[in-house]
């Protein structure tokens, strides 16, 4: 006997397929590094796919995309990056939509490099025309971007407008709370000098009224000069701090040499995260706050 599938069953089956297609058609956003991913994660939760190019342990400053990364960036619905000073390799990509986060940071929140900072092959002695890209270490700077990013996401994905707006409200409230928590906890290290591995936490230091001592590698990934290291050693000695910092994405060699010569300890700050315990915006900030407190108080 020949089995005939009733028409209504076929029609139900086709409807299920259609519904599933709509559900799985999430917009795909590509971001350069984890800090950008963490911000987008809070705004998108599970309504978009956010994929990150710079792997954990690599620095966005020294990263170079391979052909499959480039293809991914070109195919994505949108590409998000910070600025030429951090992930400038994203600038050359012909993506469908390119969002440069630094364009949306209000001028009064931007920090200039106050010390000599080599950019590409040029040397900027004053550093005054270079914007420090590490804005995400200040939760209130991140807060200023939320409204603008929400509008951009809605433009890209109108169907999820309400979700983006609700996520933005929650994110803003959590950023305000985080700011108050860090403010209260960092009181105990006010006045201590912080010597960074590269100038990655100046926004955090400024926001919480801490004292920036200097950085071992002004140009990330490039060994500091003997003169710069010598100057820094005398500054660290004078400050009396018990620790200086390395970062997981950059070779700690130059910091080890300084710490050994002064008999002080090394602790690890992480501006980028993407590993266990530092895999969302809030955990990343708390991790770094705790490292600073434990090693300097
Ligand atoms: Zn950096």
> What pairing do the DSSP bridges indicate for beta strands 117-119 and 193-196?
unpaired
199 C-alpha to center of ligand 1: Å? 7
24-63 tens-digit pLDDT: 589 999 999 999 999 999 999 989 999 999 999 999 999 9
For every one of its 297 residues, what pLDDT tens digit does the chain have, with 9 covering 90 and above? 455 666 666 565 555 555 554 555 899 999 999 999 999 999 999 899 999 999 999 999 999 999 999 999 999 999 999 999 999 999 999 999 999 999 999 999 999 986 544 443 344 444 567 899 999 999 999 999 999 999 999 999 999 999 999 999 999 999 999 999 999 999 999 999 999 999 999 999 999 999 999 999 999 989 999 999 999 999 999 999 999 999 999 999 999 999 999 999 999 999 999 999 999 999 999 999 999 999 999
Cα 157 to middle of ligand 1, angstroms: 31
CB 87 within 8 A of CB 63: yes
Distance (Å) from CA 186 to ligand 1 centroid = 22
Q: What is the distance in A from the centroid of ligand 1 to the CA of 25?
A: 34
Distance of alpha carbon 110 from alpha carbon 132, whole angstroms: 7
Which 8-state DSSP code applies to residue 272?
A: S
Residues in CB range of 264: below 8 A, 6 or more apart? 236, 241, 242, 243, 244
How far is residue 213's CA from residue 235's CA, in Å, rounded to a whole number? 8
Q: How far is the CA of 200 from the centre of ligand 1 (A)?
A: 5
Q: Calculate how far, in angstroms, residue 280's C-alpha sits from the geometric centre of ligand 1.
A: 18
- Domain ranges across the chain: 187-296
Q: What residues contact residue 272 under an 8 Å CB cut-off, 6+ apart?
A: 33, 34, 35, 54, 56, 59, 60, 248, 249
Pair 136, 178: CB distance under 8 Å: no
CA of 14 relative to ligand 1 center, distance in Å: 51
Decide: residue 274, CB within 10 A, 0-12 exposed, 13-18 middle, 19+ buried. Answer: buried
187-296 CATH, one of 3.40.50.1980, 3.60.15.10, 3.30.1330.30, 2.10.10.90 = 3.40.50.1980
Please tell me the distance between residue 222's alpha carbon and the centre of ligand 1 in angstroms: 12
Distance 249 CA to ligand 1 centre (A): 9
Centre of ligand 1 to C-alpha 134, Å, is 6
49, 66 Cβ separation under 8 angstroms: no
Cα of 22 from ligand 1 centre, angstroms? 39
In tens, the pLDDT along 109-123 reads 999 986 544 443 344
Non-local CB neighbours of 97 within 8 Å, separated by 6+ positions? 77, 78, 79, 156
- The Å distance, Cα 1 to ligand 1 centre, comes to 72
Distance between CA 215 and CA 220 in Å, rounded? Answer: 10
């Amino acid at each position: 006997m020949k089995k005939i599938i009733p028409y209504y069953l076929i029609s139900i089956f086709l409807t299920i397929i259609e519904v599933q297609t709509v559900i799985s058609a999430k917009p795909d956003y590509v971001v350069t590094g984890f800090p950008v991913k963490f911000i987008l994660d809070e705004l998108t939760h599970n309504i978009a796919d956010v994929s990150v190019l710079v792997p954990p342990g690599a620095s966005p400053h020294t990263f170079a995309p391979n052909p499959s990364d480039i293809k991914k960036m070109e195919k994505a619905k949108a590409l998000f990056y910070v600025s030429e000073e951090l992930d400038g390799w994203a600038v050359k990509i012909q993506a469908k939509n390119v969002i440069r986060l630094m364009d949306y940071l209000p001028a009064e929140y931007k920090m200039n490099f106050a010390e000599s900072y080599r950019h590409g092959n040029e040397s900027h002695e004053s550093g005054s025309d270079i914007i420090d890209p590490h804005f995400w270490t200040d939760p209130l700077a991140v807060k200023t971007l939320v409204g603008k990013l929400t509008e951009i996401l809605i433009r890209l994905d109108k169907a999820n407008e309400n979700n983006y707006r609700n996520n933005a409200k929650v994110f803003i409230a959590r950023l305000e709370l985080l700011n108050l928590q860090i403010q209260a906890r960092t009181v105990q290290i006010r006045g201590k000098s912080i010597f960074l591995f590269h100038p990655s936490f100046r926004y955090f230091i400024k926001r919480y009224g801490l004292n920036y001592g200097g950085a071992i590698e002004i140009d990330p990934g490039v060994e500091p000069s003997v003169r710069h290291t010598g100057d820094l050693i005398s500054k660290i000695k004078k400050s009396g701090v018990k620790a200086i910092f390395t970062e997981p994405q950059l070779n700690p060699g130059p910091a080890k040499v300084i710490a050994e010569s002064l008999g002080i300890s090394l602790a690890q700050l992480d501006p980028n995260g993407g590993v266990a315990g530092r895999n969302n915006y809030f955990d990343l900030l708390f991790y770094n706050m705790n490292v600073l407190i434990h090693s300097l108080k």
